[in-house]
């Protein structure tokens, strides 16, 4: 299964970056093919996804790919992704909502 994870930026290992990394790592460990799109990436951050996901900064780089599901952060990024793919969410993509894995361990 091919999964697209998208966010507006990858600048530091905080907030949305941690969430995206956690999801990408989990999916890779489960055997999924993962791509990550971020419009703005700090050059020092590019190696974080090595061995986990393909990282791109331009949607044209992945426009020909087929994705079975997408997780998109930030509203403007969601609009960009939806307009760039013929299989956008309103045309049958599976949309996933993730909770941090620690949430399932609470009792």
Which domains are seen in the chain, by residue range?
2-105 (3.40.50.80)
Place 64 in a pLDDT band, splitting at 50, 70 and 90.
confident
pLDDT at 42 over 80: yes
Say how many Å lie between the first and final Cα of the chain, rounded.
32
The Cα 76–Cα 64 span in angstroms is 21
Average pLDDT over residues 46-60: 93
pLDDT at 86 over 80: no
pLDDT at 93 over 80: no
**pLDDT for residue 87:** 52
pLDDT at 23 over 50: yes
């Amino acid at each position: 299964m091919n999964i697209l994870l998208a966010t507006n930026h990858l600048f530091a290992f905080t907030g949305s970056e941690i969430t995206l990394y956690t999801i990408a790592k989990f999916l890779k460990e489960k055997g999924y093919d993962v791509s990550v799109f971020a419009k703005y990436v700090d050059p020092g951050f590019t190696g974080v996804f090595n061995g986990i996901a393909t990282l791109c900064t331009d949607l044209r780089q992945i426009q020909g790919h087929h994705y079975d599901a997408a997780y998109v952060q930030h509203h403007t990024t969601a609009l960009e992704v939806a307009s760039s793919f013929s299989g956008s969410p309103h045309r049958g993509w599976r949309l996933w909502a993730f909770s941090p894995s620690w949430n399932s361990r609470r009792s």
